[in-house]
């Protein structure tokens, strides 16, 4: 029963949109574009500026991972030089007894050095892991941006549907009022009612037309905003397609709203790690890697090295020898920064405190997620109760309108009673339209919170 009612009511909304709109010169200025929810999300994926920026962030993070991994490769350096050497001058310590010696004037030098770090106290591994965490955070940022933009666009999309339904309600009431005015004018011509009765309903008609115009203008504003978000051509009029409830219908309960609802099913479909919790976990792991890097500064660094050097002339003899000298060596080196023992303590404590803080924030995020889910489930079930109540209100308001209309036509009720009944019926129908769209919005809000939208 719910499936049929929701489907029929939402499908009817599409008929409320006009095929074209006229410009000031009478030419067609708007082009209709029927848009499904899937197509809406596809346009968001390809045209959203914030989503594209988030995807570029992933590419940047990928390069960061590659850069961090290259730090594990050997360091190889080479140098080549040529020089003009002057003659050698020798004096005693009092700068006397000067002797000069001829030296080969052309000098050359070539050196090649390779160094492979094998232990850094965990600093290299922590740097690579932090780069990988940065990439995971960038991916989570893409999911978060996608979730945000989709939900905002979907809200505008559903608001368009709500306004279209509201316009249909106004148009229906305008047609009823037109028929009633015709009946009142006939009775006035027969001398059965006063002209004041006609005037009252003509004023009611103007109020309805004004309300319709306001909804039309609101839809125009919202349509422009959504077109801007989706980067659609100016002059495009978005028409929500009739599949807006496809995914929604699969989860609509067949019984009472408290018995089962998409929220219950959505809890089973919640990812092992929703986006918000995923980001909180990554922040904790990143803080731990910062702490690991801070501690690594108190550990020695070990590296293998190999050096080969060719130079000439040999200047360590008097007079200098005009020959090339080549030497090489391989070995293992160890360095230790003693100052880190007394300079790094505060940095380690700071990193440890940040790890504790991120753990606390993760706990808070888990609590917030649980509260949001409980709130979304409750509001979803409430939306069903509200819709059922508004359906009953529409039924009673319609019955009241019909009774008062019959009584008025039989001169058993005042025109003020008719105006009140008409307003009551209009408000009930508008509230029922809003409650119907509210069910769809509440369902997608659950999907938004769980990261499955």
- DSSP secondary structure, 309-350, as one string: EEEESB-SSSSPB-S-EEEEEEEEEEE--TTHHHHSHHHHHH
- Looking at residue 24, its pLDDT comes to 38
Q: DSSP states of 361-406 as a string?
A: HHHHHHHHHHHHHHHHHHHHHHHHHHHHHHHHHHHHHHHHHHHHHH
Q: How far apart are CA 209 and CA 445, in angstroms?
A: 34
- Looking at residue 223, its pLDDT comes to 92
Nearest Cα to 403, choosing from 387, 389, 424?
A: 424
- Looking at residue 269, its pLDDT comes to 52
- Looking at residue 139, its pLDDT comes to 92
Q: How far apart are CA 337 and CA 351, in angstroms?
A: 19
Q: DSSP states of 115-153 as a string?
A: EEEEE-TTHHHHHHHHHHHHHHHHHHHHHHHHHHHHHHH
Residue 96 near residue 292 (C-beta atoms within 8 A): no
- Looking at residue 97, its pLDDT comes to 84
- Looking at residue 10, its pLDDT comes to 35
Cβ atoms within 10 Å of 407's Cβ, excluding its own: 15
The distance of Cα 42 from the centroid of its chain, to the nearest Å, equals 14
Q: Which residues of the chain fall short of a pLDDT of 50? A: 1-28, 247-248, 250-251, 253-255, 257-260, 263, 265-267
Distances (CA, A) of 282 to 53, 136, 337, 357: 20, 8, 31, 13
- Looking at residue 16, its pLDDT comes to 36
Residue 437 near residue 158 (C-beta atoms within 8 A): yes
33: three-class secondary structure by DSSP: strand
Report the phi/psi class of residue 301: left, alpha or beta, with left for phi > 0 and alpha for psi in -120 to 50.
Answer: beta
Q: How far apart are CA 397 and CA 401, in angstroms?
A: 6
- Looking at residue 8, its pLDDT comes to 34
Nearest Cα to 37, choosing from 191, 226, 218?
A: 226
């Amino acid at each position: 029963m719910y499936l049929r009612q929701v489907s029929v009511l939402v499908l009817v909304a599409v008929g409320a949109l006009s095929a074209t709109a006229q410009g000031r010169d009478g030419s067609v200025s708007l082009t209709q574009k029927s848009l499904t929810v899937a197509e809406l999300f596809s346009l968001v994926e390809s045209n959203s500026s914030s989503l594209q920026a988030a995807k570029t962030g992933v590419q940047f993070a990928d390069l960061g991972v590659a850069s961090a991994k290259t730090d594990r490769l050997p360091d190889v350096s080479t140098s080549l030089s040529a020089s003009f050497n002057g003659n050698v001058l020798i004096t005693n310590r009092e700068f006397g007894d000067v002797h000069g010696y001829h030296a080969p004037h052309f000098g050359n030098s070539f050196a090649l050095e390779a160094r492979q770090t094998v232990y850094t106290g965990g600093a290299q591994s922590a740097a690579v892991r932090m780069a990988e965490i940065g990439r995971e955070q960038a991916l989570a940022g893409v999911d978060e941006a996608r979730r945000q933009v989709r939900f905002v666009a979907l809200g505008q999309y559903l608001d368009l549907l709500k306004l279209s339904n509201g316009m249909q309600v106004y148009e229906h009431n305008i047609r009823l009022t037109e028929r009633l005015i015709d009946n009142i004018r006939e009775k006035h011509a027969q001398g059965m009612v006063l002209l004041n009765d006609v005037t009252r309903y003509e004023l009611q008609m103007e109020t309805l037309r004004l309300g319709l115009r306001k909804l039309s203008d609101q839809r125009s504003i919202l349509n422009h905003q959504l077109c801007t978000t989706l980067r659609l051509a100016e002059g495009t009029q978005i028409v929500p397609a009739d599949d807006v409830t496809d995914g929604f219908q699969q989860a609509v309960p067949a019984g009472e709203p408290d018995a089962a609802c998409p929220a219950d099913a959505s809890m089973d479909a919640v990812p092992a790690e929703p986006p918000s919790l995923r980001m909180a976990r990554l922040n904790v792991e990143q803080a731990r890697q910062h702490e690991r890097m801070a501690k690594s500064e108190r550990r020695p660094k070990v590296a293998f090295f190999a050096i080969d050097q060719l130079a000439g002339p040999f200047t360590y003899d008097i007079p200098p020898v005009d020959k090339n000298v080549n030497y090489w060596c391989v070995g293992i080196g160890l360095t230790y920064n003693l100052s880190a023992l007394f300079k790094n303590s505060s940095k380690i404590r700071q990193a440890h405190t940040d790890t504790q803080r991120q753990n606390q924030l993760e706990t808070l995020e888990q609590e917030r997620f649980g509260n949001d889910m409980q709130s979304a489930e409750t509001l979803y079930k409430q939306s069903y109760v509200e819709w059922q109540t508004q359906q009953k209100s529409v039924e009673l308001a319609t019955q009241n309108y019909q009774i008062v209309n019959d009584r008025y036509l039989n001169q058993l009720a005042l025109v003020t009673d008719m105006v009140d009944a008409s307003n009551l019926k209009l408000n009930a129908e508008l509230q029922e339209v809003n409650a119907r769209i509210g069910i769809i919005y509440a369902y997608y809000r659950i999907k938004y919170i769980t990261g499955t939208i």
